[in-house]
Amino acid sequence: MKRLRNYAVRGQLFALQMQYDSALFYLEQASHSRETSVKASAYFKLADLPEEAGIADSLKYRYLQEAYRLSDSIENSAVSHQIDRQEHLRITADLKEKSHTRLLVAITICVVAVLLLSVAVFLFYRRHLRRRNEQLFAHKWKKQEARAQENESRELQLIDIIRKVGEGCSRDFKATPAYSLWYPKISSGKESLSYDEQKQFQTLVVKAFDPYLKQLSNVVPLTGNDAFLCALIQLGFSTRECATCRGISNETIRSQRTRIRKKIPENFLEQGLGTVILGEENLSKR
């Protein structure tokens, strides 16, 4: 093929040099090439040779006819190739577009799947967190309830201890000669005790009720007069008898009772400590 292509070039060069015999030889050889373009070029050049080369009009016509046929074949082949190329480009573009569309669909599906998974994980975590909080709240509530019950039980135990100690001190003091000596004078209602007698009797009572007052002071802050009044109430003294021991009016005793009651912690007050130390069942006594 390369050799025949060179023959076509040589034939043209010999034609330009007016060596028509050599030009005719090489061009005829080139016209047998399997390359359509080389073959068509050789026929066109053969048709251009002058009559001196022995080319008759009939040969020129045949050469031109064959050259144009080959040229048309080349053009058709080029057009077909161009069409095939365009079709290939179109198919490639369609494939790219479909691939791009599939990629977008796949990305969309992945994003939706991730979002759904995130929502599912969030809902699961939220439900788990709510259950855990409910369990923690229930556990905390149980602990608080148990602590409250424990505190209530402890409060009841302290109140019971205070009550028993108070009853014991009252019982022991009433069995002493001092009580037998002082109580008739206090309960007679004729007159209040003198200042010295008040101090003397207060000293005896506070000393006798020292265990009770120590237990009571662990819960209720008491002044000296408050402690004395609480001891008198444990002895079962009425408001009038307490006023006689203090040398004050009944209203003052009632006011002092109210102040002591306000000092009692609410939780102990609800458990009945007020009744234990203030003897509320004796409030109506005069």
Per-residue pLDDT, 1: 63
Q: What is the pLDDT of residues 31-55, one digit of tens each?
A: 777 777 877 787 777 777 776 666 7
Q: What is the pLDDT of residues 81-119, one digit of tens each?
A: 565 567 667 777 777 787 888 888 888 888 888 888 888
Per-residue pLDDT, 99: 80
Q: What is the pLDDT of residues 198-232, one digit of tens each?
A: 899 999 999 999 999 989 888 888 898 888 999 99
**Of 246, 273, 243, nearest in space to 260 by CA:** 273
pTM: 0.48
Residues in the chain: 286
pLDDT at residue 282 is higher than 50: no
Query: With contact defined as beta carbons under 8 Å apart, do 250 and 243 qualify?
Result: yes
Task: Give the pair of three-digit tokens for residue 36.
Answer: 């359509």
Query: With contact defined as beta carbons under 8 Å apart, do 49 and 67 qualify?
Result: no
- What lies within 8 Å, CB to CB, of 149 at 6+ separation is none
